[in-house]
C-alpha cells in the first residue's frame, strides 16, 4: 500500500530521520495557516498524490510570501495533476504539504528495496539525484551504487560507509548521514516496507542531510500488524473498482493497458495462466478478478458486476476450477448478476471441477446468451474471436 509523502515523513520523524518543518493542508486556507506557523520564507507548496514526477508537472512550487502561498495553494489544490506516473488522465489534488524551504547544495538519491534475486535488502544511492534520476538510471547506470544487506545480519557500519563514500558525503555530515541511514533501514524492516525512496535527499549548504521527498510502500500482506499505517489508506488515490472489490473481499486488478477482456478466475496462479492464454490467442486482458476459494453466489454476483462496469471490457472470460468454490455456486452468482445488469457483451465460460454438471445445467437453463468452452485454449480462442 502506498502512502502520501506527508505520511511517510510522519513516520520518518518517529525514527529521527530529518525532514523539513511543515504540515499537511486539506484546503488552501489551511495551507496559509501552516505557512504562517512556519513563519520563514521560502516555503514549498507540494501536491499530495500517490505518484511521482510532481515537480515537472507543476505540483511543487516555492513561495516567497504569504500572498504567494495563497495563490499557489489555490492553483495546486483542486488541479488535475498530470505527471509521467499518473497517465494522461492525471490525478485530482486534494491535499497539500506546506514545508519550510531549504538551502539545497546538492540533491542525492536514496532508496531501499527488497531484492528477490539475492534475498537481500538493497540500498541504492546516487550523487546524481533529483528530478532526472530516471535518465541517470538509463544513460549512466554506473552513477547508481548498490549495497546489499543480509536481512539476518542487519545493517553494519561498513554498509553505512560504503553508501556514504559512494555519495561523497562531506566529512561534517558523515555522522548524521550514518545515523539517518541506520534509522531508515530500521524503519524499512520494522514497517515491512516493499519500497522506500528519498529523491532528493538533500545536502544543505550547512552540511546537513534532509529528506525533502519521501515515497513509501508498505507490503499489503503485513498491514494487519501496522494499525497506524492502515489509517494512512487513502481510497481517493485508488481505482474505485478496486476499492469496491476489496469491500467484498474480492481481488480485482485493473491492468491499465489497452486490453479489453475481463477475467473472472479463482486463484492468482490460474489468473496468470489465463492471461497468458488470452495473449497467446491474440487478445489482451483488461483486468482480472480473483474470487478466491470461499466465494458465495452473492460475492460472485458482485464480482461480475464489477467486471461489467469496467468501461474497457468488451468481453468476459470466466475460467473457474471448482474446488472449495463449487461450480453450481459460481453459476448461480453469474446468472444473478447477468440478469440484474443486462449482459450485452460476449461471455465465454469454462468450468471444471466440483459440481461442474450442476453448474453447466444452471447456466444452460438460465437462457443467458453465452459461449461455453471445453478447455483453456478453446476458451481463450473463443473470447479473442468474440472481442475482435
Residues at the site binding ligand GDP, with contacts judged by CB under 6 A? 44, 46, 52-55, 60, 62, 101-102, 104, 107, 130-131, 199-200, 212-213
199 binds Mn ion (CB under 5 A): yes
Distance CA 14, CA 355 (A): 54
Q: How far is the CB of 238 from Mn ion (least distance, A)?
A: 21
Identity of the residue, 91 or 182, whose beta carbon is nearer to ligand GDP in the bound complex: 91
Could you give the angle at which helices 268-280 and 376-387 cross, rounded to 10 degrees? Answer: 60
Tell me if residue 185 is catalytic.
Answer: no
Q: Which residue is nearest to Mn ion (CB)?
A: 213
The option from ligand GDP, Mn ion, none interacting with 44 (CB < 5 to 8 A, set by class) reads: ligand GDP
244 binds Mn ion (CB under 5 A): no
Distance CA 141, CA 135 (A): 9
Taking alpha carbons only, the member of 163, 48, 51 closest to residue 111 is 163
Point out the catalytic residue in the list 109, 191, 232, 252. Answer: 109
The option from ligand GDP, Mn ion, none interacting with 112 (CB < 5 to 8 A, set by class) reads: none
107 binds Mn ion (CB under 5 A): no
CA 267 to chain centre: 21
The option from ligand GDP, Mn ion, none interacting with 292 (CB < 5 to 8 A, set by class) reads: none
213 binds Mn ion (CB under 5 A): yes
Tell me if residue 109 is catalytic.
Answer: yes
Distance CA 47, CA 60 (A): 6
Under DSSP, is residue 111 helix (H, G, I), strand (E, B) or coil?
Answer: strand
Identity of the residue, 199 or 380, whose beta carbon is nearer to Mn ion in the bound complex: 199
Q: How far is the CB of 60 from Mn ion (least distance, A)?
A: 8
The option from ligand GDP, Mn ion, none interacting with 54 (CB < 5 to 8 A, set by class) reads: ligand GDP
Q: How far is the CB of 107 from Mn ion (least distance, A)?
A: 9
Contact 116, 151 (CB under 8 A): no
With cell 486556507, the residue in question is 29
What is the number of helices (H) and of strands (E) in the chain?
Answer: 14, 19
Candidates 193-201, 248-256, 307-315, 330-338: pick the segment binding Mn ion (CB under 5 A).
193-201
355 binds Mn ion (CB under 5 A): no
Identity of the residue, 133 or 387, whose beta carbon is nearer to ligand GDP in the bound complex: 133
CA 76 to chain centre: 22
Identity of the residue, 213 or 290, whose beta carbon is nearer to ligand GDP in the bound complex: 213
The option from ligand GDP, Mn ion, none interacting with 223 (CB < 5 to 8 A, set by class) reads: none
* CB hemisphere CA count around 149 (13 angstroms): 26
Q: Which residue is nearest to ligand GDP (CB)?
A: 55
CA 346 to chain centre: 31
Distance CA 100, CA 284 (A): 47
Q: What are the DSSP calls for 38-70, one per residue? A: H-SS-EEEEE--S-S-HHHHT-EEEESSHHHHH
Identity of the residue, 212 or 376, whose beta carbon is nearer to ligand GDP in the bound complex: 212
Tell me which DSSP letter residue 129 carries: -
The option from Mn ion, ligand GDP, none interacting with 212 (CB < 5 to 8 A, set by class) reads: ligand GDP
How distant, in Å, are the alpha carbons of 362, 371, 373, 382 from that of 367? 9, 12, 17, 19
Distance CA 264, CA 258 (A): 18
Identity of the residue, 130 or 353, whose beta carbon is nearer to ligand GDP in the bound complex: 130
Point out the catalytic residue in the list 197, 237, 244, 381. Answer: 197
Q: Which residues bind Mn ion (CB under 5 A)?
A: 199, 213
Active site residue ranges: 109, 197
Amino acid at each position: 500500500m502506498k502512502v502520501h509523502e506527508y505520511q511517510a515523513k510522519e513516520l520518518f520523524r518517529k525514527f529521527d530521520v530529518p525532514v523539513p518543518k511543515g504540515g499537511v493542508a486539506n484546503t488552501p486556507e489551511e495551507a496559509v495557516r501552516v505557512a504562517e506557523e512556519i513563519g520563514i520564507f521560502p516555503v514549498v507548496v507540494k501536491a499530495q498524490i500517490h505518484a511521482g514526477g510532481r515537480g515537472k508537472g507543476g505540483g511543487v512550487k516555492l513561495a516567497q510570501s504569504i500572498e504567494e502561498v495563497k495563490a499557489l495553494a489555490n492553483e495546486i489544490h483542486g488541479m488535475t495533476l498530470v505527471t509521467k506516473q499518473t497517465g494522461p488522465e492525471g490525478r485530482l489534488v486534494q491535499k497539500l504539504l506546506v514545508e519550510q524551504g531549504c538551502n539545497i547544495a546538492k540533491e542525492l538519491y536514496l532508496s531501499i528495496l527488497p531484492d528477490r534475486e539475492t534475498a537481500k535488502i538493497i540500498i541504492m544511492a546516487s550523487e546524481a539525484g533529483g528530478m532526472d534520476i530516471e535518465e541517470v538510471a538509463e544513460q549512466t547506470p554506473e552513477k547508481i551504487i548498490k549495497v546489499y544487506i543480509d536481512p539476518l545480519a542487519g545493517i553494519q557500519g561498513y554498509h553505512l560507509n560504503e553508501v556514504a563514500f559512494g555519495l561523497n558525503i562531506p566529512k561534517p555530515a558523515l555522522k548524521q548521514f550514518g545515523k539517518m541511514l541506520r534509522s531508515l533501514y530500521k524503519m524499512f524492516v520494522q514497517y515491512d516496507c516493499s519500497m522506500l525512496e528519498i529523491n532528493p535527499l538533500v545536502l544543505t549548504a550547512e552540511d546537513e542531510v534532509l529528506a525533502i521527498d519521501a515515497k513509501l510502500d508498505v507490503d499489503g500482506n503485513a498491514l494487519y500488524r501496522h494499525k497506524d499505517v492502515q489509517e494512512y489508506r487513502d481510497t481517493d488515490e485508488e481505482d474505485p473498482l478496486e476499492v469496491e472489490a476489496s469491500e467484498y473481499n474480492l481481488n480485482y486488478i485493473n491492468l491499465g493497458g489497452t486490453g479489453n477482456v475481463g477475467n473472472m478466475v479463482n486463484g492468482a496462479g490460474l489468473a496468470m495462466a489465463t492471461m497468458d492464454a488470452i495473449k497467446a490467442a491474440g487478445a489482451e486482458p483488461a483486468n482480472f478478478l480473483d474470487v478466491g476459494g470461499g466465494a458465495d453466489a452473492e460475492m460472485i454476483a458482485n464480482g461480475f458486476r464489477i467486471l461489467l462496469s469496467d468501461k474497457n471490457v468488451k468481453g468476459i472470460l470466466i475460467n473457474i476450477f471448482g474446488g472449495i468454490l463449487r461450480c453450481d455456486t459460481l453459476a448461480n452468482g453469474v446468472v444473478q448478476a447477468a440478469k440484474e445488469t443486462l449482459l450485452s457483451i460476449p461471455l465465454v465460460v469454462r468450468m471444471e471441477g466440483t459440481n461442474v454438471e450442476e453448474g453447466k445445467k444452471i447456466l444452460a437453463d438460465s437462457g443467458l446468451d453465452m459461449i461455453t468452452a471445453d478447455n483453456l485454449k478453446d476458451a481463450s480462442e473463443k473470447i479473442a474471436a468474440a472481442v475482435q
